[in-house]
């Protein structure tokens, strides 16, 4: 396959970035997208040029670090798929592929396609955990939980925190991510004790990080590689409203 790659190159958060064009003449349709970038970097290194910086870890669609925008879509053209799971057979010989980082004020560019998503970590640190004593580990069936509730909690917990929801949202909102983290704990008995405190703290941190407001576009759900439902945003709104109406911080 012959491809034209237009890749965003930037030296840092305050550096001047620009698209640079590269010609690939030996891409294989069986390569993953990241393997294709590996081949490009090998060529650049052999030419004593600076390779393209991009993040990756598991390459199995689990960790979410392979975050980049491909032809205007976070993680590329496939639904429910991370970048590392996209293969070159989904492109055509002679295609031009535009590759750029996730763009949001709260995701400053570190270099090229790598962005700093530590703002997500700080949202988790603000309340995405259970701190109350729940006793020693019990048998899995010791606390009865309705199947539908457990399924909703599990679906919300599937969020890998990749940031595609932010990149897809025209407001760069982190509501889908934050709501997934709030919902998967608030739905379970162990998490209900701190549900009000958690919702207030995580929303406050989300706002402090500079994420935009949710306008119900739904692009976040459409581009999420784990297909997290926007129904979680409605639950977050209810949790946050109840927290502010309640006299208790617990």
pLDDT, tens only, 163-195: 999 999 999 999 999 999 999 999 998 888 899
pLDDT average, residue stretch 202-207: 97
Q: Are 36 and 88 in contact (CB under 8 A)?
A: yes
Please return the burial class of 39, using the count of CB atoms within 10 Å of its CB with bins 0-12, 13-18 and 19+. Answer: middle
Q: What is the CATH number of the domain that holds 98?
A: 3.10.20.30
The answer to whether residues 137 and 167 belong to one domain is yes
Closest CA to 102 of 75, 69, 77, 71: 69
C-alpha span between 105 and 223 (Å, rounded): 19
* Residue range of the domain that includes 31: 3-111
Cα-to-chain-centroid distance, residue 174: 9
Residue 134: the pLDDT is: 63
pLDDT average, residue stretch 126-133: 86
**Is 250 inside a domain boundary?**
no
Residue 250: the pLDDT is: 46
**Is 46 inside a domain boundary?**
yes
| Total domains in the fold of the chain | 2
**Is 238 inside a domain boundary?**
yes
The answer to whether residues 26 and 105 belong to one domain is yes
Name the maximum alpha-carbon separation found in the chain.
65
The answer to whether residues 122 and 73 belong to one domain is no
């Amino acid at each position: 396959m012959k491809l034209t790659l237009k890749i965003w190159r930037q030296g840092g958060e305050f550096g001047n970035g620009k698209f640079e064009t590269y010609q690939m003449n030996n891409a294989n349709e069986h390569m993953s997208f990241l393997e294709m970038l590996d081949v490009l970097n090998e060529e650049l290194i052999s030419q004593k040029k600076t390779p393209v910086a991009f993040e990756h870890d598991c390459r199995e669609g689990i960790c979410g670090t392979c975050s980049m925008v491909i032809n205007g879509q976070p993680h590329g053209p496939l639904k429910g798929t991370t970048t590392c799971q996209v293969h070159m057979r989904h492109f055509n010989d002679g295609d031009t592929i535009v590759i750029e980082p996730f763009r949001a004020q709260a995701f400053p560019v570190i270099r090229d396609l790598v962005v700093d998503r530590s703002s997500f970590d700080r949202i988790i640190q603000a309340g995405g955990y259970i701190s109350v004593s729940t006793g020693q580990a019990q048998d899995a069936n010791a606390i009865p939980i309705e199947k539908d509730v457990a399924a909703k909690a599990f679906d919300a917990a599937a969020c890998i925190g990749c940031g595609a929801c932010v990149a897809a949202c025209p407001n760069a909102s982190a509501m889908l991510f934050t709501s997934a983290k709030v919902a998967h704990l608030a739905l379970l008995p162990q998490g209900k004790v701190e549900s009000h405190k958690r919702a207030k703290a995580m929303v406050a941190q989300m706002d402090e990080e500079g994420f935009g407001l949710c306008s119900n576009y739904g692009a976040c759900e459409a581009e999420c590689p784990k297909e997290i439902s926007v129904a979680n945003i409605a639950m977050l709104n209810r949790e946050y409203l109840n927290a502010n109406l309640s006299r208790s911080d617990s």
